[in-house]
Amino acid sequence: MQTEQIVSSLLESNTFVAKKSGECLIVDAGATPDQVAQKVGNDKVMGLLLTHGHYDHCFYALEITKKFGCKIFASKKIVENLTDPAKNYGETFKIEDFSNFVFLEDKQEFSLGEFEISATLLPGHSKCSMGYLIDGTFFAGDVLFGQGIGRTDLYGGDKHEMLQSLITIQNNIAFDILASGHGEMSTAEKQKRNLNLFIRFLSR
């Protein structure tokens, strides 16, 4: 699997296009449909996975999935954020039509075309934070970054849940590559050390 990164103009959030055997998955929707189309090329889009309901990760979700004719996958808890701009931080942004959504449970495993996806609910930055492990690449949203962890002071954020989620990542998610919601991609090797540090920091 090859992962292409797009840095959006919305708080520099990342949108990823993961490609394999002529198919692709899109992770998050801060990039415009045209930006995404450039990375998709001639591949068949199998779905859009949302990591959480902040506007910088969801803004173009409906437009992107309309353009490519695919479904949106996310935790059901995302509805609360997406229906209320005060909870997704998008000023007037909201989504009210969920007919194109497929809601995922914690620890749900499913496949889309050639892609085997393992979804894990990882609250702490947001109640609806979902991480996706696909072919050794972990799409972590704003829970874990190459150089830090996500904020816990926004709506639905919780320091203790963040601690539990980091422990879950450390113990249960066997990734090689980290693809976070902001910043550059990282490796498991670097994150082993970071996770210990962050867990100790939050456990004080």
Question: Which residue do the tokens 């490519």 mark?
Answer: 68
Q: List the interface residues with Zn ion, window 35-54 (CB under 5 A).
A: 54
The conformational region for residue 47 under phi > 0 = left, psi -120 to 50 = alpha, else beta, is left
Measure CA 108 to chain center. 15
Residue 122 phi/psi, 5-degree rounding, is -135, 70
The answer to whether residue 142 forms part of the interface with Zn ion (CB under 5 A) is yes
Classified as helix, coil or strand, 136 is: coil
Nearest to Zn ion of 54, 87 (CB atom): 54
Select the span of 1-9, 106-114, 142-150, 192-200 touching Zn ion (CB under 5 A).
Answer: 142-150
CB of 30 to Zn ion, least distance (A): 10
Q: Which residues contact 58 (CB under 8 A, 6 or more apart)?
A: 28, 29, 30, 50, 78, 82, 88, 93, 95
Select the span of 16-24, 60-68, 110-118, 137-145 touching Zn ion (CB under 5 A).
Answer: 137-145
CB of 52 to Zn ion, least distance (A): 6
Nearest to Zn ion of 54, 127 (CB atom): 54
Nearest to Zn ion of 19, 90 (CB atom): 90
CA 175/CA 188 separation, integer angstroms? 6
CA dihedral of 106, 107, 112, 113, whole degrees rounded to 10? 180
Nearest to Zn ion of 54, 77 (CB atom): 54
Nearest to Zn ion of 19, 54 (CB atom): 54
- CA 59, 123, 81: angle at the middle one, nearest 5? 35
Nearest to Zn ion of 55, 101 (CB atom): 55
Tally the residues of the chain: 204
> Residue 1, exposed/middle/buried by CB under 10 A (0-12, 13-18, 19+)?
middle
Select the span of 115-123, 140-148, 170-178, 192-200 touching Zn ion (CB under 5 A).
Answer: 140-148
The answer to whether residue 28 forms part of the interface with Zn ion (CB under 5 A) is no
CB of 54 to Zn ion, least distance (A): 4
CB of 151 to Zn ion, least distance (A): 7
The answer to whether residue 87 forms part of the interface with Zn ion (CB under 5 A) is no
Q: How many residues bind Zn ion (CB under 5 A)?
A: 2
| Residues in contact with Zn ion by the rule CB under 5 A | 54, 142
